[in-house]
Chain A
């Protein structure tokens, strides 16, 4: 039971890390390597709200989420659109955007260093035990998991039950065909990219309540997000959620039952297995 709950909590943590990238990579087809930095920026927002305004870190969402949305919209319009236009096929776009966003991640790190300094950013928020089925869990993790569930639920509903969501799915499946049925593909892509950025920043807020951050730590999150997105299947929100949970459960089970030293090995073993057995990811579509 312990393992199950701890695993689900860790899975929720991972879903917060990966959800934004799913949207950006799956729909807008931008492999955004600066994704982790956006997460750290959101975390900084929460840190600032908590330490200097003495509010709940989640209050930061009020300005962090719209700001991240706007910033990512601008990034897409200014930096990514020329690459999208120039790209002859999907592979070329991926290579170009990987290079561009890799550079962008350094810019973000530099800006955050200037703005916040290189120190550790850590604060205590709800670091109190809450007993579930007889064992204590951190309240901050429980709250963050609830936030993750809410975020995933909203995204799932938005994408599968609304009209703009349908447009997003259409673009994810085939941008050319989506254009033929009067979907404004550039606009939907920009929207998905911006939404992905906003979701990532929101994830950063939740994560900052129990992880220690600094300006350079973003790449750690980018790597984890990449694994999850590829495992889950490109462009499928469900896939990313389920991959996060599987990864969380597997790591916790290995750490508790075998040895904490093997968690990374377990994560990569799973990754390799998925790539071998279902190269398109758990929920991905086979390319025709």
Chain B
């Protein structure tokens, strides 16, 4: 039934285009490519943070009648999706294909740090703007120098680690927590890089590392790690972790009764599924990200996300991903489909986004959320690099 309606719809569109042959060009859609994991290790993360925002954005733009071009015409967006199977080689191939075969007007940046960095040369070669909303790296200065087309909106590893150290250092100075930190990290590029910056940052903040270990990606039993961390008798537990380990470490810490005053896990702590799984025991948990839930724009965005995609956004990169699409939208509306002009426009302008006003400095956003905390059933931002609306961090009660 659905298919028949679609067919009828398609037929009438063809008819409409044929009838208005003279204005057909003006009514053509803007082709937007999208490459990200639908399968593979990062698929679940992309299904929370990346794909729903594309769906939401396209829906909203088309509902408004399309992008409002300079000449006053309206052009709807058409999304062409590719699954890169979480494989950088596939990401590159799909971007090439979108640029050369599908003749996409624009290509939304891929998902995750690794896939974005892998695809950066291809975006640059074909001159497509790449506004990344899910890559965190300390290589931003090198990458932006080499590729004029790449933009960063989620921050750097040092920013993220430094903020965690600041939050803990402040709680320590206020006498809320002791200075003993147990730290673990997943042994891959993200975990190693961020643990490295964290070591220096914790030292600077006057904290003491009493336990510092890594574990391999895909570890199925984290209980030896949590047991050993507990034996070090820490005041704070910090894990630079990926989603499956974030869930496993939290569950195991609860089982072992790891009673720390500050409990931090990195990626996926901001996912609604985290709060959903652990319920009230996540009160006071710290994690990467955060968002200003008091902002009316964010509130409206959360409502729309739930209504259109049927699921809640996460409390970190979801809104950033949506804001990156708003940047693309506003630039196209300002200067048209000329990709070079769009890149220039992104460099020069200030954008009105759900994250507030955005201005790229040296191709990156300098004000971003770094630490969030579960308080009263939602994940609020408690530290950022200069954004308004941060809540004070609280001490974690028992489990």
Contacts and interface: CB of A to CB of B under 8 A. Distances in A.
A16 to B, nearest CB: 11
A120 B48 contact: yes
Contacts of A103: none
Instruction: Give the top 7 A-B pairs by smallest Cβ distance, nearest first.
Output: A118-B47, A214-B44, A255-B224, A260-B215, A212-B247, A256-B224, A212-B244
Contacts of B46: 118
Contacts of A118: 38-39, 43-44, 46-47, 51
Contacts, number: 122
Contact of B219 (A9, A248, A259, A260): A260
B255 A119 contact: no
A287 B207 CA distance: 61
Interface residues of A, number: 43
A117 B218 CA distance: 21
Contact of A215 (B39, B247, B252, B273): B39
A214 B242 CA distance: 14
Given A119-B273, A136-B255, A124 B220 contact: no
20 contacts: A3-B224, A106-B39, A113-B38, A118-B39, A120-B247, A124-B277, A129-B254, A136-B255, A136-B256, A137-B255, A211-B220, A211-B244, A212-B247, A214-B47, A216-B39, A217-B41, A255-B215, A260-B224, A261-B214, A263-B216
Contact of A122 (B213, B252, B277, B311): B277
A259 B228 CA distance: 10
A72 interface: no
A271 interface: no
A118 B111 CA distance: 14
Interface string A124-166: 1001110000011110000000000000000000000000000
B65 interface: no
Contacts of B223: 6, 9, 137-138
A122 B40 contact: no
Interface residues of B, number: 43
A128 B255 contact: yes
Contacts of B51: 118
Contacts of B218: 220
Contacts of A128: 255
A215 B43 CA distance: 8
B373 to A, nearest CB: 20
A2 B220 CA distance: 17
Given A119-B311, A216-B44, A252-B221, 19 more contacts: A10-B220, A110-B39, A113-B39, A118-B38, A118-B43, A118-B47, A120-B48, A120-B244, A124-B279, A138-B251, A210-B248, A211-B220, A211-B244, A212-B243, A216-B39, A216-B86, A217-B41, A259-B213, A261-B213
Given A119-B48, A120-B243, A256-B228, A127 B221 contact: no
Contacts of B44: 118-120, 214-217
A109 B51 CA distance: 17
B102 to A, nearest CB: 22
Nearest to B245: A212
Which of B86, B221, B251, B268 has most chain A Cβ within 10 Å? B221
Nearest to A252: B224
B227 A127 contact: no
B43 A214 contact: yes
A71 to B, nearest CB: 21
A109 B43 CA distance: 11
Nearest to A112: B39
A6 B247 CA distance: 19
B221 A123 contact: no
Nearest to A259: B213
A118 B228 CA distance: 34
B371 to A, nearest CB: 22
A259 to B, nearest CB: 6
Contacts of B220: 10, 13, 211, 224
A120 B273 contact: yes
Nearest to A138: B255
Contacts of A261: 187, 213-216
A207 to B, nearest CB: 9
A251 interface: yes
A269 interface: no
Contacts of A122: 247, 273, 277
Nearest to B214: A261
Nearest to A220: B218
B268 A120 contact: yes
A220 B243 CA distance: 15
B221 A6 contact: yes
A99 interface: no
